[in-house]
Amino acid sequence: MTVMQIDGGIEAQARAYQDQLTKPHGALGSLEDIACWFSARQGKINPDDLNPHIVVFAGDHGVCEEGVSAYPSVVTGEMVKNFVRGGAAINVLSHRCHASLSVVDVGVVSDLRGLHGIVHARVRAGSGNLLREPAMSEAECAAAIRVGREQARLAIHAGANLLIAGDMGIGNTTASACMICRLAGALPESVVGFGTGVDDAGRSLKVEVVTQALERISEIPDAQVLRQVGGLEIAAIAGFYLQAAESGRPVVLDGFIAAAAALAARMIEPTVAGWMLASHVSREHGHALALDALELSALIDFKMRLGEGSGAALVVPLLQSAISLHNEMATFESAGVTEKTDEQNG
């Protein structure tokens, strides 16, 4: 499979259409860019309204035994139950942006087999400790990627035209930091953040763990970074992004973990980022670096560091507003409004 082509011709036509709307040229700033971005990807001068679907992928991390997180691994499973009961941030935000929501166990340590309302696709009960061993075998990593691909296919089949992946996994900022350091060419000191809320000593420990993990894989090729120092939910998100791009559906990236998964997806398919919009820049160190490496610009900076897809879901109303403005505003001609007095640059 290959990534779907983006229609530059339609984008140019959408731009020309924008300039007929009753506002000074360019006065809607980023909103004009967003509308035309969707035009090019939907192949329509007037893009359809958004029908977003959010999938939260949950998995645990063996590296937690090194003490890198402020919360114990049991919280991953507890939060999955919170998602099912509707009490988490992503529940509120998916409701606010009229998105449907799925939750997938791709590798939670707690036994969730009896839990209704989630997708049971556990590849393994938590990843290996990336400090000392590969996080996943090759077969496990491939299986996790397939889980993500399958979720994207299902959402698209159900009519979604905008896909969002969220993450839940205690310890996953450590895994993501390893991946971003290696794939964006940055140092642990610049990339490692406070995660769910470790203190300065906790962060120093994380920097040390990431540094040693990177040493462990220093002779291993980039293509293996995901399985060596990633995680099950991160691999699933990478697969989700790959399938979205191959099926020609835009994705909105969330934060730090999403960026690590996006970098992994780009290792597999270099043009995948053409289908990605960056929602927010996280407070987690190194997220901005990862977005730079992906050549993406975040829409907002709200100092969030939650994951779950929360930042991506938050901006969906802004994206829909951009499309609604593009489609619903009057033109100078239809409204009988006088255009500029003379030819001026603007």
- The residues binding a copy of itself (CB under 8 A) are 21-31, 69-72, 74-75, 78-79, 81-82, 85-89, 91-93, 95-96, 194-200, 202, 283, 299-300, 302-306, 310, 314, 317-318, 320-321, 324-325, 328-330, 334-342, 344-346
Non-local (6+) Cβ contacts of 281 within 8 A are 287, 288, 291, 298, 300, 301
Contact at 8 Å (CB) between 148 and 230?
A: no
CB of 243: closest distance to a copy of itself in angstroms?
28
Q: Could you count the other beta carbons within 10 Å of the beta carbon of residue 343?
A: 6
140 is catalytic: no
Instruction: Report DSSP state, residue 53.
Output: E
> What dihedral angle (degrees, nearest 10) is formed by the CA atoms of 38, 25, 30, 159?
-20
- Nearest CA among 269, 270, 234 for reference residue 253: 234
Catalytic site residue from 150, 269, 308, 328: 308
User: Of the two residues 239 and 311, which places its CB atom closer to a copy of itself in the complex?
Assistant: 311
* CA distance linking residue 237 with residue 233, whole number of Å: 6
CB of 250: closest distance to a copy of itself in angstroms?
19
User: Of the two residues 27 and 139, which places its CB atom closer to a copy of itself in the complex?
Assistant: 27
User: Of the two residues 39 and 91, which places its CB atom closer to a copy of itself in the complex?
Assistant: 91
* CA distance linking residue 49 with residue 321, whole number of Å: 9
User: Of the two residues 49 and 138, which places its CB atom closer to a copy of itself in the complex?
Assistant: 49
- Nearest CA among 319, 180, 277, 240 for reference residue 56: 240
User: Which tokens hold the place of 148?
Assistant: 């993500």
CB of 166: closest distance to a copy of itself in angstroms?
13
CB of 287: closest distance to a copy of itself in angstroms?
12
CB of 245: closest distance to a copy of itself in angstroms?
26
Q: Please give the full DSSP string across 87-153, using - where no structure is assigned.
A: -SHHHHHHHHTT-EEEEEEEE-SS--TT-TTSEE--SSSS---TTTS-SS-HHHHHHHHHHHHHHHH
User: Of the two residues 157 and 303, which places its CB atom closer to a copy of itself in the complex?
Assistant: 303
User: Of the two residues 24 and 270, which places its CB atom closer to a copy of itself in the complex?
Assistant: 24
- Nearest CA among 342, 343, 326 for reference residue 23: 326
CB of 79: closest distance to a copy of itself in angstroms?
6
Return the active site residues: 308
